[in-house]
Structure 1
Amino acid sequence: MSQSHQRQSTDSALLSPLFWQVAGIMALAIRLVSGWTYWGGASRRLIYATAKLDPTSHAYLANKLVHAAPGMALDLSGFMYWLLNHSTLLHVAIIFFTLVELVVGVGLIIGFATRLMSIIGLGLACTLMIIFGWMGTTCLDEWTMAALGFATSAVTLLTGGGRYAVDQLFQGAIERKNILWARWLTSGPLPLSTPQVIKFSTIMGIVSILFTVGFYGYNFGALVTPLGKRIDNAHHTVALSQATIQGNLLKVHSYITTGPDTQGAYIAQVSLSQDGHVLATYPASSLKDKTIVTIHNQFAPWSTCKAMAYAVRCQLGSKATWSFKLPDGLAFNNTQPLTLQMSNVEGKAFKMTIQP
């Protein structure tokens, strides 16, 4: 047999239905585990922890979105806060995302419309990476989940479901009628020659590694620079703004822009000073006294600043307006700026200047 005939014979074997059935079986573990991951995310909200879909609950998924908003990739935090401020649209989006996860999870597990489920899985992985990829206090768990989700979806997109998939029930009819678009959505042979399959597989591999390494470098550095996180997820930062004094009332807006989502920024003391002299001090005992200090939380009850025994606990991403009752008879120089300072339990101070 000539070399060209041998090559044609090899190409024909590689593209046979049997090859694609075997390829799908080889990727069976990836398909099942990937499907279970998406099924697990949806089933927790729909079956086991329904409070995650209850807008009146502290466990509502919006709480996680508030935590993630400050560090969202591609500067999309503005869109996320817009969505958080439109509760009906937010609830629809959360329900939709949950149902998509459910469909993709079940579809991959049973091997129904495997390639279509894989394409949607790529979109879910991108969404998770953009929103949550920067987070993770002890390890890069969110980034890892999104990166692996993208890679596993790329693999099942290439291989299809194989012999142990519901798609096999329709594969014979699809092949007899040569419905090309259906092959891109289900399983079995792709309508590509062997060189095209190799090229497509190579492209998906390159895209997957660029997705993974690109977002790693974007969020954490350590590619051509030393390790340096784009958003500090180990230490809280309290950003103060919109401070005003009206009569005997001081108002200020707080926003927790960095830090771990697993614990809050504990504000133990607030003070107002001018020219180095303290005019008013609010210790923990005053911060929890609603006749002296009131706190209006923008995203209550999902993510809040809440008065506790020894401090006010502010969660990551929370936005709140604080109102302080100034002491009776307080006098200050109307020509000099004042300084408002919030101090956490570790003694770290967060300041802003108030023009009288």
Structure 2
Amino acid sequence: MSSKAAPSPLVGGAYLLAGNLLLPLRLVLGWTYFSAFWRRLVLENKLDPDGAGYLGEKFNHFLPNALGIRPAIEFFVSHPELLWWKLLGFTVVEAVVGLAVMLGFMTRWMGLATALLAFGILLGAGWLGTTCLDEWQIGVLGVSAGLALVGTGGGRFSLDFWMEKRGMKIPGSRLADRLVAWALEKRGVVVVAAAVFLLTLATNQIFHGGVWGKLHNLSVKPRVELSEAHLDGGALGVTLYRVEGADVYGSFAIALRVLDATGVEVAAWDQQALAGLAPTAIENRYVAKVKPGAHSLMLPLGAKAEVRFESDGLKRLRAGSYRVELEDISGASWATTLEVP
């Protein structure tokens, strides 16, 4: 009796043809994930916390408008030492999954893995994209492409096929094949297709208003939230949180003013004063950091910090409500209320 394993019920016929037809998709999809590892650790070191372009800062950019996973993102960007391990593990997973998809090894399971990776990208970064809704497109296309590979397998031009022909055991292949066969019998493909399409429409609407109503793109113009304004020992403390705008370009604050109820300026800091803030005056909460620049106070996307501003004028404030206003170099401004008891 031959010791070779029985061939998979989904290795020939229409399934083989479908897998052959999706070869270009499999190679491109695999490379998009493997190339993440290639860019971060081979071409450059993007996992150096002290280096330019640290991946942790990019991950921090997702935070303000992530869908459903914001608490998890905030936890990691608040704990830099854990974030590094998370990014390393994620990069290794992307490398393994991407390479396996290109080779066509455990194709159905790796297709599911790519769909899950893309789903995570969609939830975290689907709101980003200055021109073509870049991250949303990457996410929804990755989910649908990965699930397509779950259904078709790798086809003739895959390591799975090569191993099947030689009677070699592919880990998890029998279970994957049975699940796919069962889903096809129960018209599960229609359910999956409908679910993916609804996910596409829902996230397009939530992130960009792309189905009905007014279109919006949170990556175009910077927006900074001011909160928790208070006086402490004659200094103004206020929390600054950059929540919108391009992830590759900072917000550059050139003025901060405190105005009384009649609009009269009672304290102010110009761009030189903001650029000259001492590091001890800024208490950053995340990996992306608010910091003084050459000519302004720089606020990268996702950065949140409590900043202290000192002025003799603050010591003479009477009880009442005041307006704290931050001005960006673009001319945009944002404000919060300061209550002086």
CA distance in structure 2 between the partners assigned to 1:308 and 1:101 by the alignment: 35
- Among 302, 308, 320, the alignment partner of 1:317 is 302
Q: How does 1:318-333 map to 2 (within 5 A)?
A: 318-327=303-312, 330-333=315-318
In the TM superposition, what is the alpha-carbon distance from 1:181 to its structure 2 partner?
A: 5.2
Q: Is 2:224 the counterpart of 1:238?
A: yes
Aligned to 1:285: 272
Secondary structure of 1:338's aligned partner = strand
Aligned to 1:217: 205
Q: Contact conserved, 1:286 with 1:293, CA < 8 A, in 2?
A: no
Q: Contact conserved, 2:106 with 2:171, CA < 8 A, in 1?
A: no
Aligned to 1:294: 281
Counterpart of 1:48, as a letter, is L
CA distance in structure 2 between the partners assigned to 1:306 and 1:43 by the alignment: 31
Unaligned residue ranges in structure 2 (runs of 5+)? 1-8
Largest Rg, 1 or 2 = 1
TM normalised by structure 2 equals: 0.87
TM normalised by structure 1 equals: 0.84
Aligned to 1:67: 61
In the TM superposition, what is the alpha-carbon distance from 1:196 to its structure 2 partner?
A: 3.1
Relative to structure 1, the CA distance from residue 139 to residue 308 in structure 2 (aligned partners, 3 Å threshold; closer, same or farther) is same
CA distance in structure 2 between the partners assigned to 1:352 and 1:21 by the alignment: 62
Relative to structure 1, the CA distance from residue 293 to residue 324 in structure 2 (aligned partners, 3 Å threshold; closer, same or farther) is farther
**Considering only aligned residues, what root-mean-square deviation do their CA atoms show, in Å?**
2.8
Q: Is 2:184 the counterpart of 1:192?
A: no
Q: Contact conserved, 1:128 with 1:146, CA < 8 A, in 2?
A: yes
Q: Is 2:24 the counterpart of 1:35?
A: no
Percent of aligned pairs sharing the same letter: 27
User: For residues 80-115 of structure 1, what are the alpha-carbon distances to aligned partners after superposition, in whole Å with 9 as ceiling and x for unaligned?
Assistant: 111211223212211111111111110011111111
CA distance in structure 2 between the partners assigned to 1:351 and 1:207 by the alignment: 42
Q: Contact conserved, 1:274 with 1:332, CA < 8 A, in 2?
A: no
In the TM superposition, what is the alpha-carbon distance from 1:342 to its structure 2 partner?
A: 1.0
CA distance in structure 1 between the partners assigned to 2:301 and 2:179 by the alignment: 47
In the TM superposition, what is the alpha-carbon distance from 1:35 to its structure 2 partner?
A: 0.6
- Among 240, 251, 264, the alignment partner of 2:250 is 264
Aligned to 1:11: none
Relative to structure 1, the CA distance from residue 155 to residue 197 in structure 2 (aligned partners, 3 Å threshold; closer, same or farther) is farther
Q: Is 2:335 the counterpart of 1:355?
A: no
Aligned length in residues: 331
CA distance in structure 1 between the partners assigned to 2:280 and 2:323 by the alignment: 18
Secondary structure of 1:320's aligned partner = strand
- Among 151, 169, 175, the alignment partner of 1:158 is 151
CA distance in structure 2 between the partners assigned to 1:329 and 1:96 by the alignment: 49
Aligned to 1:336: 320
- Among 164, 174, 182, the alignment partner of 2:173 is 182
Q: Contact conserved, 1:295 with 1:320, CA < 8 A, in 2?
A: yes
